[in-house]
Amino acid sequence: MHFTYHAIVAAILIYTISPSKAENSAFVPAFSGLPPLEGLAVSPQGGLFATSGTHGGLVIQIFQMKSWKVIARTGGQPRGIAFNKAGQLYVADSALGCIFEISLTGKTTILTERNRGAPLVAPEAIAITGAGDIYFTDTGASRVCRLTAEGDAVPVVSNIKSPGPIAISTDGRCVYVGDAMGEIWEISQDGAQRNNLATVLEGCPKGIAIDADGRLYISVPSEGKVIVLNSRGNRERTFLVGELAGP
């Protein structure tokens, strides 16, 4: 799924809100008690969803930038979150080592815990192609995986140093991954080709998003920065999150 510049900036702004203790009530007005967030995703209907590793592993829905509610608890540390075109929600839980499918009514189903028979180590981020193919980074095992229809995770590439954020190109042909060394990798869907697209010198990238024009937005929270790259990996802009006006 791809977004406009303004939609991406709006999502980034949520990270600037000071976290505090989450409440158990279904709806909390004006972001009161919003916990620290890990991943963000927008549903096909435009709803904003997030994960948090606090309070038993939360999957959260945020309403019109004003209120939020918990829709599920994984019992672990959910990180990556993504929707497919049909509106099905998927979450990678690094503590439990599994990929969940989660309904909006809160039902959680484990899709996979295995990589060719071996346990997943620490799945981090997740992305889904327009055709419904699910890719995710298994950070603890330094590999990028694809989920098969049979429910097994097949490595696409290995030996990437602690891969983290992941995104799919606008044409669905390439997977973009950031690693702990600040490298941004462009990988073909079958893993046959791997290109070091760019290096982020500022620090470890934690998020990647792609807009409708193919620009990559790389978040570096340790520096409070978002780096914008064009599709060739050239830097177009770097801005501080603090420069953005609040909602």
Instruction: Indicate the residue type of 177.
Output: V
User: From CA 4, how far away is CA 157, in angstroms rounded?
Assistant: 29
- Taking only the tens place, the pLDDT of each residue in 101-129 is 999 899 999 998 887 778 899 999 999 99
The first and second tokens of residue 117, run together, are: 């028979």
pLDDT band at 23 (very low <50, low <70, confident <90, very high): very low
SS3 176: strand
* Residue 241: predicted pLDDT: 64
- Which residues are bridge partners to 88 per DSSP? none
Q: SS3 for 207-243, per residue?
A: EEEEECCCCEEEEECCCCEEEEECCCCCEEEEEEHHH
The first and second tokens of residue 106, run together, are: 């809160």
> How far from 121 is each of 25, 140, 149, CA to CA, in Å?
33, 5, 21
Whole-number percent of the chain with pLDDT over 70: 83
- Taking only the tens place, the pLDDT of each residue in 196-219 is 999 988 888 888 988 888 899 998
* Token pair 């918990």: residue: 70
Instruction: Indicate the residue type of 133.
Output: D
pTM of the model: 0.82
Residue 152 confidence (pLDDT) above 60: yes
* Token pair 């290995």: residue: 158
